[in-house]
Structure 1
């Protein structure tokens, strides 16, 4: 009875490979365990300003409510790592360079993955006829990581990211909710981290409060991308030169020693963002920002918060004439948010210079 569905599942995986996905798995729709974890995360208030995570009721935990008729989920994984880990460490280690999370250096992954999943769904439709489905990629109340874990695509790291055995954690996920009774893959156990605590220890803001528990309000990715107001002053010095997201917990993960570079040209760096300086990016006009972030995940940040983040990075950079001049040029910016962070950065440099002068 199950043989035709097993054969169809194998065909789906073959098509997925031809579409350059790194892995395809099938998940069941039982998310009870993940639902309990997620609700504890919300109850602790760790989601901060990400109010959308608390919306949609049970639809996030019950796929059949989000897409009526859903009985299985086709999960896809696609690597995005655009450069060797050593190059990332060099960028982080240079306080004058702007560090952007490597997933954001190329084109926005949402559209690329959704388009590819639609091609996969249409191939399936050509084979079996019309069926019920809907495609997602970080675009709806979907528990992507729990579904991918159930589909055997990865296990949870203590940093709460998903990790694949042979490819590490630098990958995107996408899903097709479907009414086809495809046989699910065996889920991977929760974790293979053992006694390792590298990610907890390296986190600049101690956002990983315990293994598998993340207080997003302290996470640099949250602070530089999701937070809309001022970045808390006590956390600004810890952000360093990270102006869009953070990869530290992934960089130190032993499983990423095997991380493979992406084969997707669209995920490769554009406009020299992998090596740009803080001063260079801070000088962009709004028109330049919009032009150079077109088709990029960075665009959703907006120009005002882009300058806010760069001002923090410049405040953490070594004092120099270039850095001070760049900050002073934005001291009277129309945005109060930008002015506040510029003033903080200049005050920090003033204090450093006074301390240095006193010491000599």
Structure 2
């Protein structure tokens, strides 16, 4: 079989595994690698030190699979079928990709199946599956594979699916015929994503400053939130979708069809007081099997306390007060700070708490 015939077979195998997007890129230094290094040297990676540690590994995909010749890129849509419920100060917003099953596990399972099928057809082939867990500039390779273009908000946009997609890659030493790179940028003069960012995290097209990004603070940051970040979460408990919500391409995109990525109702708009009142098993159950585990219990409860502090809702005081005895020092300090914002420490700050003589206020 020729490289085009090999490529055609692998595309059919991938489509049979229900991937929404499939394309093949050559194993080369990604075109955006220089931009990535400039981004790091400019201090825009915030506390994500692992990006600095693995920067050199992103220069070429042979750091992930020695001898790699081709990168099979796949994508799945998680675009919700239903609109979000109205925003409320008592509920937290969760990025759409994190509402269903952990996309890493979904991609790993199917990429593993694709790898097994490829090795069945080509016993001497070597493959490695990657889903946001190896030093690979996946969006660059997705563009090289013809899946879409990299927008001004740094997201990959597909003409058919918009940007609500998750990407995975299967690296192989097979010599496959690559697809044509996606050429034109269909953002045009539109800057809605840049203009809508509530924290001004973009200092220009394709220039995201993670030190001002809500997703970084609510997901990647460990420990207490700085005051300026805690006060600027804009209702987001985990992640942020604002720059995608305003994109015209997402208004045209069809709902995702994959049942594993459909939203769990508990993760669409969690009740913040209910989250603080929940016991450890209930919190663990909310996180279990989802991308929310990236923030861990500590980060999720910390973020809930920060949002309640910004809400001004004094009905949250009892739940915050109870967490002053939490085993996690980050949770304790976040709740103490929230209580200070809401009118003073302790349950006595609640309008319906007992007074000093044991009678209701």
Match of 1:280 among 269, 274, 297: 274
Determine if contact 1:96/1:241 at 8 Å carries over to the other structure. Answer: no
User: Does structure 1 residue 47 correspond to structure 2 residue 45?
Assistant: yes
Q: Which runs of 5+ in 1 are unaligned?
A: 352-360
Secondary structure of 1:168's match? coil
User: Does structure 1 residue 326 correspond to structure 2 residue 319?
Assistant: yes
How far residue 209 of structure 1 moved from its aligned partner, in angstroms, is: 1.7
**Structure 2 Cα separation of the partners of residues 246 and 17 of structure 1:** 30
The answer to which of 54-63 and 143-152 deviates more is 54-63
**Structure 2 Cα separation of the partners of residues 195 and 300 of structure 1:** 35
The answer to which of 118-127 and 333-342 deviates more is 333-342
Tell me which residue corresponds to 2:89: 95
User: Does structure 1 residue 184 correspond to structure 2 residue 182?
Assistant: no
Determine if contact 2:30/2:140 at 8 Å carries over to the other structure. Answer: no
**Structure 1 Cα separation of the partners of residues 58 and 202 of structure 2:** 24
Match of 2:144 among 150, 153, 165: 150
Secondary structure of 2:168's match? strand
**Structure 2 Cα separation of the partners of residues 194 and 53 of structure 1:** 30
Question: Which whole-Å deviations, capped at 9, do the CAs of 1:11-33 have from their partners, x for residues lacking one?
Answer: 22222122110111011122253
Tell me which residue corresponds to 2:350: none
Tell me which residue corresponds to 1:339: 332
How far residue 224 of structure 1 moved from its aligned partner, in angstroms, is: 0.6
Question: Which whole-Å deviations, capped at 9, do the CAs of 1:242-282 have from their partners, x for residues lacking one?
Answer: 11111111000111012222222221222622133111112
| Structure 1 stretches of at least 4 aligned residues deviating more than 6 Å after TM superposition | none
Compute the RMSD of aligned alpha carbons: 1.8
Determine if contact 2:220/2:294 at 8 Å carries over to the other structure. Answer: no
**Structure 2 Cα separation of the partners of residues 64 and 335 of structure 1:** 41
TM-score normalised to structure 2 length:
0.90
Paired residues in the alignment total 344
How far residue 287 of structure 1 moved from its aligned partner, in angstroms, is: 2.1
**Structure 1 Cα separation of the partners of residues 278 and 258 of structure 2:** 28
Match of 1:115 among 109, 118, 139: 109
Question: Which whole-Å deviations, capped at 9, do the CAs of 1:145-174 have from their partners, x for residues lacking one?
Answer: 111111111111111011000110011111
**Structure 2 Cα separation of the partners of residues 319 and 297 of structure 1:** 28
**Structure 1 Cα separation of the partners of residues 261 and 331 of structure 2:** 30
**Structure 2 Cα separation of the partners of residues 309 and 196 of structure 1:** 32
Secondary structure of 1:350's match? coil
Secondary structure of 1:130's match? coil
Secondary structure of 2:135's match? coil
Match of 1:166 among 160, 166, 173: 160
Question: Which whole-Å deviations, capped at 9, do the CAs of 1:39-74 have from their partners, x for residues lacking one?
Answer: 001101111211111123532121123311101100
Secondary structure of 1:82's match? coil
Secondary structure of 1:289's match? helix
**Structure 2 Cα separation of the partners of residues 293 and 56 of structure 1:** 28
Q: Following superposition of structure 1 onto structure 2, how do residues 212-223 of structure 1 map, counting pairs within 5 Å?
A: 212-223=206-217
How far residue 95 of structure 1 moved from its aligned partner, in angstroms, is: 2.1
Q: Which runs of 5+ in 2 are unaligned?
A: 345-361
The answer to which of 52-61 and 95-104 deviates more is 52-61
**Structure 2 Cα separation of the partners of residues 126 and 100 of structure 1:** 40
Match of 1:250 among 211, 235, 244: 244
**Structure 2 Cα separation of the partners of residues 25 and 320 of structure 1:** 53
> Which structure's residues are more often helix, by fraction?
1
